[in-house]
A and B are shown apart, each in its own frame.
Chain A
Amino acid sequence: GAVVSQHPSRVICKSGTSVKIECRSLDFQATTMFWYRQFPKQSLMLMATSNEGSKATYEQGVEKDKFLINHASLTLSTLTVTSAHPEDSSFYICSARDLKQGHTEAFFGQGTRLTVV
């Protein structure tokens, strides 16, 4: 299957700083990428849908100014957590669709464990 690489896998930052997470599709072009947040022992919560070359579509309740998404190319989307607070600590996962597959199969990155201290 297609490969999605997410970086970093783990990051610790201080309150008030910003953290950028990268999501790359390594062997396919992803016009659409998705950013999820997962709390311990819970399901994935979709935060936003990122479309190449246009603004991201945020789910209800997700602050777009806090979670900045940039999808500047067909292989890279970034999520920046701005002015991080301890409550932003979570597991963030990206996924991307390979449109050449002809259906809505989504491939996932390895996830990023963010800890804000």
Chain B
Amino acid sequence: GEDVEQSLFLSVREGDSSVINCTYTDSSSTYLYWYKQEPGAGLQLLTYIFSNMDMKQDQRLTVLLNKKDKHLSLRIADTQTGDSAIYFCAAPATGFQKLVFGTGTRLLVSP
């Protein structure tokens, strides 16, 4: 089945760019997702990318997909303190009904 891995922690200064990385195992994944979770809250969908795309940009967010290496990244430009949260990448499991989540990357943005 699908397995999704992420680094656990990232610390950046306000105004810098943040890059959060994710690897997955199922090459048939059609869509890949990035979610944000703030403390004590549910998950908020940030963006997604279709598997036939290499890059998607949405305001400060840029998603890069390397299908050959099964590597997904989320770049946040001009990172703000309000971006501090846990970021999860997710990929559909076989059959596409359910999503498999990575371990989550805790982003800490310092002033």
A4 to B41, CA, bound (A): 13
**What 1/0 mask marks residues of chain A from 74 to 90 whose CB sits below 8 Å from any chain B CB?**
00000000000000000
Report how far A111 CA is from B101 CA in the complex, Å.
16
Docked complex Cα distance between A106 and B43 (Å): 10
Q: Which residue of B lies closest to A106 (CB)?
A: B99
In the complex, A34→B41 CA distance in Å?
16
A93 touching B43, Cβ below 8 Å: yes
Interface residue tally on A, bucketed by range:
20 to 34
Neighbouring B residues of A105 by C-beta, 8 Å: 31, 33, 45, 48
Inter-subunit contact A95/B101 (CB<8 Å): no
- Which DSSP category, helix, strand, loop or mixed, fits chain A's interface? strand
Task: Choose among B42, B48, B104 the residue that contacts A111 (Cβ–Cβ < 8 A).
Answer: B42
Near A by CB (< 8 A), chain B positions 13-42 give: 30-31, 33, 35, 40-42
Q: Say yes or no: is B103 at the interface (Cβ < 8 Å to chain A).
A: yes
Residues of B within 8 A of A44 (CB): 43, 88, 101
A-B contact sample (14 more), CB < 8 A, given A103-B50, A108-B35, A108-B44: A34-B99, A43-B101, A44-B43, A44-B101, A93-B43, A95-B99, A104-B30, A104-B92, A105-B33, A105-B45, A106-B45, A108-B43, A111-B40, A111-B41
Q: Which residues of A contact B (CB under 8 A)?
A: 1, 4, 6, 32, 34, 41-44, 46, 49, 91, 93, 95, 103-111, 113
Q: List 9 A-B contacts (CB under 8 A).
A: A1-B45, A6-B42, A34-B99, A42-B104, A44-B43, A103-B50, A105-B31, A106-B45, A110-B41
